[in-house]
Amino acid sequence: MTGLLGRSIIVTGGARGIGAAIATEFVKTGASVVIADVRDDDGAQLAHSLGPSARFHHLDVTDSDNWVRVLTETEDEFGSLLALVNNAGILDFGTIESEHPDLFRHVLDVNLFGAWLGMHLAAPRLRVAGGGVIVNISSTAGLTGYAGIGGYVASKWGLRGLTKAAAVELGAANVRVCSVHPGPIHTPMTAGLPESMAAAQPLPRFGEPEEIAAMVRFLITEATFSTGSEFVADGGATAGQALVLESVE
């Protein structure tokens, strides 16, 4: 197991949803966690409820100065960086024909450029610390296509590819980089989406944020020979659809 003592973990988009579950999971395992998000009230409230090994810092992942401040304050407060979880993300709606160009760019900016910027600024610190882990939260939308969310799909495929490039570059520095690909998970992001979306999956339900948090913990603390790899938690959605064909029975 990778030692957590005296090392810190940053979770972007950690104020709610999957990020909040990841932050909570790591506080339970004894790590020091920085919740970094644009949602100041939610983030500060969560950090307070998790106790002294959690802190909230405002971070817009697209802002370089924000990143430098958060990375510096994290190491000052909690010790050298062990892991960065690039979890912050936004979902767009619109077809290729109907989506506004500004929205498409904004989704790429947050979901892809934001994660790149985090890796760009955190990697030198992980090198100096003798190694560490970066986990990029992609999606099944980084493994296949979906109609009506083209910017999101593009950003999540991009993040999957960037993960592999970073893994190849940083392996010699003992920095592992992996991507996680959740299917539909119960969070504020998916609050308006119908449960029937998951009906054709082998496991016909939405997942819970804690199920993704458990995978991220495994990747950071146990998966010491995995880098550049994709870890899927989607109820089997990308394995195929549960078609009922009478002639097959």
The 80-119 site mask, x for binding ligand NDP (CB under 6 A), equals -------xxxx-------------------x---x-----
59 binds ligand NDP (CB under 6 A): yes
Reply yes or no on whether 146 is catalytic.
Answer: no
Judged by CB, which is closer to ligand NDP: 78, or 206? 206
Handedness of CA 152, 158, 160, 162 (dihedral sign): negative
Size of the site for ligand NDP (CB under 6 A): 29
Q: Please, are residues 167 and 136 in contact by the beta-carbon 8 Å criterion?
A: no
**HEC readout, 21-81:** HHHHHHHHCCCEEEEEECCHHHHHHHHHHHCCCEEEEECCCCCHHHHHHHHHHHHHHHCCE
**What single letter denotes the amino acid at residue 238?**
T
Q: How far is the CB of 6 from ligand NDP (least distance, A)?
A: 26
Nearest to 17 by CA among 40, 42, 34: 42
* 94: helix, strand or coil: strand
Judged by CB, which is closer to ligand NDP: 18, or 175? 18
The 133-162 site mask, x for binding ligand NDP (CB under 6 A), equals ----x-x-----------------------
24 binds ligand NDP (CB under 6 A): no
Nearest to 62 by CA among 133, 11, 111: 111
Question: Rounded to an integer, what distance in angstroms lies between the CA atom of residue 244 and that of residue 175?
Answer: 45
Candidates 15, 54, 135, 162; binder of ligand NDP (CB under 6 A) is 15
Q: How far is CA 102 from CA 37, 116, 129, 149, 151, in A?
A: 22, 20, 39, 14, 10
The 209-248 site mask, x for binding ligand NDP (CB under 6 A), equals ----------------------------------------
Judged by CB, which is closer to ligand NDP: 114, or 132? 114
Catalytic-labelled residue, pool 26, 67, 152, 157: 152
Catalytic residue positions? 152
Query: Which residues sit at the interface with ligand NDP, rule CB under 6 A?
Result: 12-13, 15-19, 37-39, 59-62, 87-90, 110, 114, 137, 139, 182, 184-185, 187-190
